[in-house]
Amino acid sequence: MQSLWNDQEAATFGTDPLGQRVYASRLLGRNPALVLHGGGNTSVKTEEKDFFGDSVSLCYVKGSGWDLATIEREGFSPVRMSALLKMAELPTMSDTDMVLQQRAAMINPNAPAASIEAILHAILPFKFVDHSHANAIAALTCNADGEARVKEVFGSRVIVVPYVMPGFILAKAVYDLIKGRDLRAEGIDGMVLLKHGLFTFADDAKTSYELHIELVTKAEEHLAKKAGTAAATLQPKEDLLAFASLRKAVSTKRGVPQIARLLNKPDQVAYASIGAAGTRGPLTPDHSIRTKRTPAVIGEDINASVQAYADDYAAYFQRNAKGETMLDPAPRFALWQGHGIVAFGDTLKDANIVADIAESTATTVALGEAVGGWEPLPEKDIFEIEYWELEQAKLRKGPARKVHQGKVALVTGCAAGIGFAIAESLAEQGAQVIGLDIDKDIPEIMKKIGAVGIVVNLTEDQPVTDAIYLAVRELGGIDIVVSNAGIFPKNDNLDVMVQTDWDRTLMINLTSHQKLMSKVIPFVKQGIDASIIFVGSRNFKAPGPGASAYSCSKAALTQLCRVAALELAPYKVRVNIVHPDAVFDTKLWTPEALAKSAARYGMTVDEYKTKNLMKVEIKSKDIGNMVAAMASPLFAKVTGAQIPVDGGNDRVI
């Protein structure tokens, strides 16, 4: 492992202690082999003047909810050293009291809650303290001979601390270990917490950080010598329907839709078949909050495998519970034999976090096995962390769950107008949207709403298939399909219409939808609260002269919807159609076109926009919101329905 310290870069963060603390913390956070997603913590001790001008000793410690990789000055909590040192002398202290007293001791009440390790940072007699959950330290210490290994690698340079519960209990254990000792005189550079992580400390940020890198590097080099030849790798199998089925089984067990990420590099496929070692416990106890104690092992029978995991989790809970309420028994990641590692999450971000942890775990556990065996903490210790109120509180701080959170939506024809509004509404309500359009700018257009855009000609078979496969491969399945793509050809009466205009309109407005259905339905059958929504038109019931191709295609599309509803009802897949009319905020309706049409009716433009029974303007967003509602639980028992969004049309009514 290489030091990333750069004096010029460090200077840009400020030469004051807190500025240097921010810089060194970010260096730790940049390296996933040291910390992942909120892991680790750092601190700096300073002397400052308080509001009244009195001198006060402070420990700026990483605040709850901040990642080291992106932490700012505001991410550190300024806690009075006097209070932290007094707490360390107490014989016992509850978690609730510790958090309350740390909050009370902060000179800035608006700062984030201080790390649960604030007391531990305070009692270490150095200005800068760095703590990580380095993979190499886990591989070294998660073993029956962990303490002997540490002494073999580091000698007397580090203090070895047996595993104890983080927070006050750990701080008290370390306090008793170092009380009365002169760590500087002893040449102590760090502290290894068995099956937990590494601390280093010094009186300047650079030294503490580079000691951290040096010690981790020594562990890496030691492990590399012991590991010998690399483990065998396997090529992955691909079965996307089975992948979608696995996602559905886990989502059902968890009670909410999950995004699924498949990690299927050859070494990850090999790890998925590692056997018992892969289910002994997490890389570090902190990870159990995100991953639970163990992954599921998925065999040939996916549903039975997920149920077996849930049963095992319930038994684990019963063995260790002391009045807690059991969390859902669904796995957070799985070892899918022959396929790879699968990570699950409420959102794509959550799934990616679990994927990162699972990937790091796989690498480290495989290394631990190669150098003498992987032996993490006993389950009772993991249970204490998993159900620790202070850790669970971190996960409850997020925003309220959105209607379509965890769902995957495929929307066609969404570069502009109604299609874009539909994609936007679904994304706003939590869906992970994949937008398909022939417009070459669709990737950038979808990026504006946090979605993925793919350039696809929907009349071509293979590109449509490839796009569907990509959506499933990247996200685990498809729950919502909005078949919206269409064109409105120029108005020509039947006796003068060019045949190619008719053929092209039918191909895009009807046949492309049928082609999409033939390819996407197998995956939608594995969807969660699955829904297909077609975008039709008022013209199917109230056609006009010169619009035969458009009107006939929309009428046929409505019939396609009705047949699909009949065919998919046994699979609990809802199929409905929305019929917009007079939606004028689209590219089709230029100011000139609007003025011309309004004049034809003897109306002003504003009168023309509201010429429906309710005298209201219909906008693309109205259609987007309706489609999002139709895909939601509000329409859970509705299929085969035709919903007009037109403000009321006397010809239709």
Helix (H) / strand (E) containing 473: helix 461-475
Lowest-confidence pick of 229-233, 370-374, 423-427: 229-233
- Residue 421, domain member (yes or no): yes
One domain for residues 447 and 424: yes
Is the pLDDT score of 115 beyond 90? yes
Query: What is the mean pLDDT of the segment spanning 469-480?
Result: 98
One domain for residues 362 and 412: no
HEC profile for 125-143?
A: CCCEEEEECCHHHHHHHCC
- Residue 2, domain member (yes or no): no
Is the pLDDT score of 454 beyond 90? yes
Q: Which two tokens stand for residue 184?
A: 């500087």
Query: For position 392, what pLDDT does the model report?
Result: 72
Which are the contacts of 156, defined by CB distance < 8 A and separation ≥ 6?
Answer: 186, 187, 188
Query: For position 232, what pLDDT does the model report?
Result: 60
For residue 620, how many other CB atoms are within 10 A of its CB?
21
One domain for residues 603 and 633: no
| Alpha carbon distance 361, 315 (integer Å) | 24
One domain for residues 255 and 212: no
One domain for residues 140 and 78: yes
- Exposed / middle / buried, residue 311 (Cβ in 10 Å: 0-12, 13-18, 19+): exposed
Query: For position 231, what pLDDT does the model report?
Result: 54
One domain for residues 600 and 634: no
One domain for residues 52 and 22: yes
CA neighbor of 168 nearest in space, from 287, 84, 66: 84
- Residue 481, domain member (yes or no): yes
- Exposed / middle / buried, residue 351 (Cβ in 10 Å: 0-12, 13-18, 19+): buried
Active site residue 313: no
Model confidence at 215, pLDDT cuts 50, 70, 90, reads very high
One domain for residues 221 and 288: no
pLDDT tens for 627-636 read 999 999 999 9
Higher pLDDT, 226 or 615: 615
Single out the residue in 227, 259, 274 at which a domain terminates. 227
CATH label of the domain that carries residue 18: 3.40.225.10
| Alpha carbon distance 141, 149 (integer Å) | 7
Selecting among 209, 309, 387, 550, the annotated active-site residue is 550
Q: What is the CA radius of gyration of the chain?
A: 30
pLDDT tens for 63-81 read 988 999 999 999 999 999 9
Query: For position 372, what pLDDT does the model report?
Result: 87
Query: For position 569, what pLDDT does the model report?
Result: 98
Single out the residue in 395, 427, 454 at which a domain terminates. 395
Model confidence at 373, pLDDT cuts 50, 70, 90, reads confident
Query: For position 588, what pLDDT does the model report?
Result: 76
Query: For position 600, what pLDDT does the model report?
Result: 86
One domain for residues 569 and 627: yes
Query: What is the mean pLDDT of the segment spanning 383-389?
Result: 90
pLDDT tens for 126-138 read 999 999 999 999 9
Question: With b meaning 16 or more CB within 10 Å and e meaning fewer, what string describes 107-128?
Answer: eeeebbbbbbbbbbbbbbebbb
One domain for residues 246 and 262: yes
Q: Which two tokens stand for residue 381?
A: 């210790």
- Residue 653, domain member (yes or no): no
Q: Which domain holds residue 270?
A: 240-395
- Residue 123, domain member (yes or no): yes
- Residue 403, domain member (yes or no): no
Model confidence at 230, pLDDT cuts 50, 70, 90, reads low
The C-alpha angle 565, 567, 572, rounded to 5 degrees, equals 70
CATH label of the domain that carries residue 543: 3.40.50.720
Query: What is the mean pLDDT of the segment spanning 193-216?
Result: 97
Query: For position 137, what pLDDT does the model report?
Result: 96
pTM score, whole prediction: 0.92
Lowest-confidence pick of 207-216, 428-437, 495-504, 560-569: 495-504
CB of 449 closer than 8 Å to CB of 423: yes
Query: For position 641, what pLDDT does the model report?
Result: 97
CB of 508 closer than 8 Å to CB of 551: no
pLDDT tens for 563-620 read 999 999 999 999 999 999 999 998 878 888 899 889 988 999 999 999 999 999 999 9
pLDDT tens for 78-92 read 999 999 999 999 999
One domain for residues 148 and 167: yes
Single out the residue in 167, 202, 227 at which a domain terminates. 227
- Residue 159, domain member (yes or no): yes
Q: Which two tokens stand for residue 326?
A: 């059991």
- Residue 650, domain member (yes or no): no
One domain for residues 435 and 384: no
Count of structural domains within the chain: 4
| Alpha carbon distance 218, 152 (integer Å) | 11
pLDDT tens for 270-308 read 999 887 888 999 988 889 999 999 999 999 999 999 999
